[in-house]
Amino acid sequence: MRSRTVQQPAVERSEGDRRAVELREAVAQLQRELEEYPADLRDRGVAEEALGKLDAAAREREPSVPKLQRSLLLIAATVGSVSALTAGLHALRAAVDRFSAPGG
């Protein structure tokens, strides 16, 4: 029996894929900023766990928008008052918001 190689057509990135990539990048950015933040944060573990959930959700085919928003809310509640993490938090919010935007 001969083996045939079937060449798969190139797959264009969909809008959903771009949103997921942007979410994963925003998660990674905030994770780096949180790791570099020297002060003790009482709920750092909560933020890290929620970031992990967002990263996992970004890898899903159809992430649940309410779950994305819940994770974002937990992160904002735990690190939202830390000015050094503001840029990363804003990027994360923008990435999550793209999933709930009309035509998303």
Q: pLDDT tens-digit profile of 6-58?
A: 443 333 445 558 999 999 999 999 999 999 999 999 999 999 999 999 999 99
The yes-or-no verdict on residue 75 having pLDDT over 90 is: yes
DSSP 42: T
User: What whole-number distance in Å separates Cα of residue 29 and Cα of residue 22?
Assistant: 10
Give this prediction's pTM: 0.81
